């Protein structure tokens, strides 16, 4: 039977930290069967560390149904851009910088207009998480949204202390498997460290992963 995509419920597909892993991103998109009718959200840290940040950047900039939020690594790129710091020769950032030759400023303009949070139907997407003691997402500090793991003065991950009802989808904390709670889902399964790239499909709450082709960067002690 012919499947009319207009009759299919619109999906939101949230993708964990890509870190320049374009090959795995393409595999994941194909495995999910993403269509123009789906909304795709990159959870931040889609650039740096990995093999092809320029390609991921161009894909994010040029694909209309792809949204993205800021991660701490996008902020690092912005800092270097604002201060006119050229990347160290032959570093992954230098390779990206060379590949982006001619539209580096456009790429940085793109990054600096990304939000820290996207609120959708029944979910909020942020890069790292929230301080569970502050209830409104609008009152969270940008630093926490970009980097929080264990809140200052607490001894558990923020999502184990979070009792809110709203589903928070996050990345940033590379772990061997996705964090799955009723009200929090963590998607950073360490693709750039040789783990996997993971996506969450909403509203069905289904997780789909593809394994990393290789360990692009060593990272001692990721869970
Ligand atoms: Mn991060």
Query: Is the per-residue pLDDT at 80 higher than 70?
Result: yes
- pTM recorded for the entire structure: 0.94
Residue 18, by phi and psi: left (phi above 0), alpha (psi -120 to 50) or beta? Answer: alpha
DSSP 89: T
The pLDDT tens digits for 207-221 are: 999 999 999 999 887
Considering the domain 5-211 in this protein, what is its CATH number? Answer: 3.60.21.10
174 alpha carbon to ligand 1 midpoint, in Å?
9
Residue 186: enclosing H or E segment and its boundaries? strand 184-186
Mean pLDDT for 29-46 is: 97
By the 8 A CB rule, do 32 and 59 touch? no
Cα–ligand 1 centroid distance for 5 (angstroms): 34
Residue ranges of domains in the chain: 5-211
Whole-number Å distance, alpha carbon 158 to ligand 1 midpoint, is 15
């Amino acid at each position: 039977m012919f499947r009319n995509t207009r009759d299919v419920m619109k999906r939101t597909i949230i993708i964990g930290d890509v870190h320049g892993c374009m090959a795995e991103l393409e595999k994941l998109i194909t495995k999910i069967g993403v269509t123009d009718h789906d909304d795709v959200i990159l959870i931040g840290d889609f650039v740096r560390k990995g093999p092809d940040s320029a390609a991921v950047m161009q894909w994010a900039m040029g694909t209309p149904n792809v949204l993205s939020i800021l991660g701490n690594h996008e902020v690092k790129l912005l800092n270097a851009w604002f201060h006119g710091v050229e990347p160290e020769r032959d570093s992954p950032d230098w390779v990206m910088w060379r590949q982006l030759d001619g539209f580096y400023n456009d790429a940085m303009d793109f990054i600096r207009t990304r939000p820290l949070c996207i609120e959708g139907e029944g979910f909020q997407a942020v890069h790292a998480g929230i301080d569970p003691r502050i209830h409104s997402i609008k009152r969270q500090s940008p630093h926490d949204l970009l980097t929080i793991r264990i809140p200052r003065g607490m001894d558990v991950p923020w999502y184990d202390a979070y009792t809110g009802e709203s589903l928070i989808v996050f990345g940033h904390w590379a772990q061997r498997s996705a964090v799955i709670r009723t009200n929090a889902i963590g998607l950073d399964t360490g693709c750039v460290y040789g783990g996997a790239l993971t996506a969450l499909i909403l509203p069905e709450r289904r997780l789909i992963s593809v394994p990393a082709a290789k360990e692009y960067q060593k990272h001692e002690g990721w869970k």
